[in-house]
Structure 1
Amino acid sequence: MSQTNRNGWTSDHLLKPNGTALFAAQQRERLRQMANEVQGLLHEYQASLGEIRIEGDKPWDAKVRAKRAAKPMASLEKHLRQAVVDAERIHTSYTRFYVELPLKRAEQAKAKELKKAAKDGIRSGREQQSLNTASALHGIGQGVYSDQNGNVPENPQKTESVSFLDFLQKGA
């Protein structure tokens, strides 16, 4: 059983269909609101600091000092914006590793089975090819049997025996 956090979310809630999508959307909205508040406050704070003049300041010293003093708040705003992006990654990584991966592996297994079946079919085809090659060699051993068009008669055993030399002379 999972512990319930302050917002009422548990890991059981996240594992339900669209649980991570709902959680990510909720966190993105909450973080986006916080980033907008910090951004507004940052601009106001920086403007107020920029108006404070200290004796001996040069023309741009107040603005530079204000920007440097507000830098940690600007960093906070930047990190909140990055957290909004990271909140979306919660759902995308869950989907990638726990929803899409089993489907991808099932497709790969199916492709592997098809490849194996095709490979087994090729093996039996190779055996058939070797038988055809053996009979072709047997026919060559008996002599070259073909007419002028290259056709082999039905029963080459009954035709006259032709040697290779005869074949060359006939072709020339």
Structure 2
Amino acid sequence: MNAAEKWTPDNLQSPADRAIHLEQRRAQLLPIVDDLRRLAREMDAEVKEYGPIEGDLPGQARLRARHVTKPLFKAADDVERAIGDLIAFNARFQRSYEDLPDKREEKRQRKAIAKGKAPQAIESPSADANPEPKEKPHFGEVFDGLRRGA
């Protein structure tokens, strides 16, 4: 994909294109995260040096400095979280649209084998020798072999 072209949903259909998109975004966002963290640390150190303003309570200057710089740290965290969200999108797309049809087909085959509709991979020879269906024993016959008080 060209740098001048924009990403569209059509471009994100294949795993290779999604991997390229993820790496491009990571390459764009990681320097921003680093820059925001650096700026936040420097700004935090700078405003802590201002010292108390007349009328401040003890420790209020430090709290004010933390309160002022907290959004910068949060912005860096949010941009970093965006990278994680892109990774999560990639995984969810793959699970939901690429892997799901195969899983469902596999499940259908297992159910068909369990119900006896599809040929099994390993067939026992005794099953072919006696094709007569077995009759279910009657209620009395099942318990005939049991002794009373056992």
The TM-score normalised by the length of structure 2 is 0.69
SS of 1:129's equivalent in the other structure is coil
CA RMSD of aligned residues (A): 3.0
What is the Cα deviation at residue 9 of structure 1? 1.3
For residues 55 and 14 of structure 1, the distance between their equivalents in structure 2, rounded to whole angstroms, comes to 57
**Match of residue 16, structure 1, among 6, 14, 17:** 14
What runs of 5+ residues in structure 2 fail to find an aligned partner?
A: 121-126, 138-150
Q: Decide whether aligned partners of structure 1 residues 12 and 45 sit closer, same or farther in structure 2, where only a CA change above 3 A counts.
A: same
Q: Which amino acid is 2:102 matched to? A: L
State yes or no: 1:128 paired with 2:126. no
For residues 17 and 75 of structure 1, the distance between their equivalents in structure 2, rounded to whole angstroms, comes to 31
What runs of 5+ residues in structure 1 fail to find an aligned partner?
A: 134-172
State yes or no: 1:83 paired with 2:85. no
Runs of 4+ in structure 1 off by over 6 angstroms are 118-122
For residues 58 and 27 of structure 2, the distance between their equivalents in structure 1, rounded to whole angstroms, comes to 41
For residues 47 and 60 of structure 1, the distance between their equivalents in structure 2, rounded to whole angstroms, comes to 15
Q: Which amino acid is 2:22 matched to? A: A
Structure number with larger C-alpha Rg: 1
The TM-score normalised by the length of structure 1 is 0.61
State percent identity of aligned pairs.
28
Q: Does the CA contact (< 8 Å) of 1:51 and 1:62 recur in 2?
A: no
Q: Which amino acid is 1:128 matched to? A: P
State yes or no: 1:95 paired with 2:94. yes
Q: Does the CA contact (< 8 Å) of 1:24 and 1:90 recur in 2?
A: no
How many residue pairs align between the two structures? 126
Higher RCO (CA-CA < 8 Å; seq separation 6+): 2
Q: Decide whether aligned partners of structure 1 residues 19 and 29 sit closer, same or farther in structure 2, where only a CA change above 3 A counts.
A: same
Q: Does the CA contact (< 8 Å) of 2:113 and 2:119 recur in 1?
A: no
Q: Decide whether aligned partners of structure 1 residues 127 and 32 sit closer, same or farther in structure 2, where only a CA change above 3 A counts.
A: same
For residues 10 and 59 of structure 1, the distance between their equivalents in structure 2, rounded to whole angstroms, comes to 55
What is the Cα deviation at residue 63 of structure 1? 2.2
Q: Decide whether aligned partners of structure 1 residues 117 and 27 sit closer, same or farther in structure 2, where only a CA change above 3 A counts.
A: same
Q: Does the CA contact (< 8 Å) of 1:28 and 1:88 recur in 2?
A: no
Name the one with the larger helix percent. 1
Q: Does the CA contact (< 8 Å) of 1:28 and 1:87 recur in 2?
A: no
